Chain A
Amino acid sequence: MLTDHKLPLGQYIADFVEWLTLNGAEFFDSVADTLEMLIQGVTHGLLWFNPLVLIGLFALLTQLIQRKWALTAFCALSFLLILNLGYWQETMETLAQVLFATLVCVAIGVPLGIAAAHKPMFYTFMRPVLDLMQTVPTFVYLIPTLTLFGLGVVPGLISTVVFAIAAPIRLTYLGIQDVPHELLDAGKAFGCSRWQLLSRIELPHAMPSIGAGVTQCIMLSLSMVVIAALVGADGLGKPVVNALNTADIALGFEAGLSIVLLAILLDRVCKQPEAKRRTEA
């Protein structure tokens, strides 16, 4: 009896997406085009370099950020291995996507996190949304993004952002929430305006936490690479999907190894140089 009249929930959403597709086609197309162009630009930029020069630059960057010779050597060797295996272009495409997705996540997530920390009501409203974004299986929102933005790298990027943005929001929120009352009082007592309180006290204090959020965001974006490949995004996900379709163990392993190497490198390089400096000092 209860099943006689099924609530057409799914139908509503489908209708809504269809309505969006019909009425917003122009808008979504232009967004897709712009994003695609930007990502392509970054990818082409990375691929413009001679791979060996770029590997040298990456190693230098690693050394500058973390100042650990072992890590620098590991960075150079990993990229050389990837180059040798023949996944250089895919790796650079993936890197560009990950960096771009992270950039978008931070650009949206950090301000949202700050707003959430300052307005408790806003956070109460946002929390279930964040939970939803992190728990709804990726494939479910891959479908509507696909219909809205068409095949290619953009639906992959949007899905990645939806999946990964919760990390910087939550960790920014936590970091700013954690600022001791005395520090805020000190700021006010010395005449900080609200903006100065944010830039001089809250953000510096939340920096390690925000850094952790960014690192997490990068890792989450990377985990989306394979799924994004399903909707036509380039990068290391593509050979993995191919390997899956053709049951090619060799291809799957090599592409998988490249992803793992990239993940380890990004994680180690981004890991909290701020916190490290503080304990060292």
Chain B
Amino acid sequence: MSMIRFEKVDVIFSKQPREALALLDQGLTRDQILKKTGQVVGVENANLDIERGEICVLMGLSGSGKSSLLRCINGLNTVSRGRLLIEHEGAEVDIASCSPATLKAMRTKRIAMVFQKFALMPWLTVAENVGFGLEMQHRPAAERKKLVDEKLELVGLSQWRDKRPDQLSGGMQQRVGLARALAMDADILLMDEPFSALDPLIRQQLQDELLVLQRKLHKTIVFVSHDLDEALKLGSRIAIMKDGRIIQYSKPEEIVLNPADDYVRTFVAHTNPLNVLCGESLMRPLQQCRHEGNEICVDQGRDCWLGLDDNNGVQCARQGGQDLKLQRWAPGDLVANLRREPTLVNVRIAMRDALQIRYQTGHKLVLEDNGQVVGILGDSELYHALLGKNLEKDDNNAAKPVQVQPAELSRVV
């Protein structure tokens, strides 16, 4: 059972959405419906499955309906048509049609939210703000204090507990917002552009902190962002929205490699591939390398060759007439310790690491998967990715978007 499931959800900002819904069914666009009825279509036919423990990023420009969709999950926006199912105690609750009491229960126990403009109560102290949701849960004071202290510790604001929010910097205020949401101990965390109002450096720092926290806490996070870099960094899956519709819903790497349409492609063109792509989608596959006997050419200029056995395992390596013992690198190893020779790495190496190894060793990388050599990664492949050329379908020199298995991406928890 998925944690959150949208089934054909339409959101129209009106108490009488019937007319607009009918027009929507007739295939009219948002603008036409606005002109005819004066009603705003927030979201149109949204279908989305969000699994337990994943970070789903809703991404799009302002007005694309991403916030509208997010706010449906805890009922801040009303679903005009369709079902919005949330797993709760082994059953599914349809937020679109549940009773006010159920909605309140879901809001107090199941779903917590972090806001773009922090939405802290200026008349309460930091600790009181963090404890706000706990009071709504009617927890006794002692338990509240314990939980508040725990969460403040978690976001590193313990010594600020008795200050008021306006004495804190923006980044700290949002940490309070995060602590307040985490204190609820809800499984679902909604984040509505939480880092957009912050400086770029603070934003990156908080993104990193969120990833670290998520590794500990395993929440189901729905995150709204207008920044694809942020989405690619955080998301285990990304739903790209435009004009109230979900255009593409897939894993980050797939979005970069296979944009669904030109709209997504323009987004992708401005992203930094270093954080998204991995060796598998960059490399020149083994079949395309130059074979001679049972040797393949790693580096023609340096006369560097690799001998393979029948299972494509490494048998030997040589440079000219000299034997090489291939060095290995695994995530976490110090790149500075590598010798100036070709390096054997896992096929799912992050592009940033690959570039660093290439820079340090001055040699190509040999990519292996379960002991089998699958491809080679050198300058031309890296340059292609940096220039965004691997997005061009007719490019046959660069690595083709080979079958991606982003489920195993290291970013995912």
Q: 0/1 per residue, A144-156, Cβ < 8 Å to B?
A: 0000000000000
B133 within 8 A of A: yes
The count of residues in chain B whose C-beta lies closer than 8 Å to any C-beta of chain A is 32
A193 within 8 A of B: yes
Contact A190 B123 (CB under 8 A): no
Contact B136 A281 (CB under 8 A): no
Least distance between B176 CB and chain A CB atoms (Å): 12
Contact A189 B123 (CB under 8 A): no
Contact A186 B123 (CB under 8 A): no
Count: A-B pairs, CB below 8 Å? 65
A31-39, A201-209, A222-230, A257-265 - interface stretch: A201-209
Q: Give the one of A190, A200, A204, A278 with max B CB within 10 A.
A: A190
Least distance between B132 CB and chain A CB atoms (Å): 6
Contact of A191 among B115, B117, B136 (CB under 8 A): B136
B55-63, B104-112, B234-242, B305-313 - interface stretch: B104-112
Q: A205 vs B121: C-alpha distance in the bound complex, in angstroms? A: 8
Least distance between A53 CB and chain B CB atoms (Å): 36
B184 within 8 A of A: yes
Contact B107 A188 (CB under 8 A): yes
A4 within 8 A of B: no
Task: Enumerate chain A residues within 8 angstroms of B164, measured Cβ to Cβ.
Answer: 278, 281
Contact B76 A189 (CB under 8 A): yes
Contact B117 A190 (CB under 8 A): no
Q: 0/1 per residue, B76-116, Cβ < 8 Å to A?
A: 10000000000000000000000000001101110111011
Q: A193 vs B133: C-alpha distance in the bound complex, in angstroms? A: 12
Q: Give the one of A189, A192, A204 with max B CB within 10 A.
A: A189
Contact B167 A191 (CB under 8 A): no
> Quick one: closest A residue to B137, CB to CB?
A191
Q: 0/1 per residue, A88-99, Cβ < 8 Å to B?
A: 000000000000
Interface of A is mostly: helix
Query: Contacts A189-B113, A191-B133, A191-B136: A278 and B123 contacting too (C-beta < 8 A)?
Result: yes
A29 within 8 A of B: no
Q: A residues 229-281 with Cβ under 8 Å of B?
A: 278, 281
Contact A193 B104 (CB under 8 A): yes
Least distance between B148 CB and chain A CB atoms (Å): 14
A26 within 8 A of B: no
A182 within 8 A of B: yes
Least distance between A116 CB and chain B CB atoms (Å): 22
Task: Enumerate chain B residues within 8 angstroms of A180, measured Cβ to Cβ.
Answer: 117, 119
Least distance between A273 CB and chain B CB atoms (Å): 13
Contact A204 B123 (CB under 8 A): yes
Contact of B117 among A182, A189, A205 (CB under 8 A): A182
Contact A204 B119 (CB under 8 A): no
Contact of B136 among A192, A205, A207 (CB under 8 A): A192
B371 within 8 A of A: no
Name B residues whose Cβ lies closer than 8 Å to a Cβ of A: 71, 74-76, 104-105, 107-109, 111-113, 115-124, 132-133, 136-137, 163-164, 167, 180, 184, 190
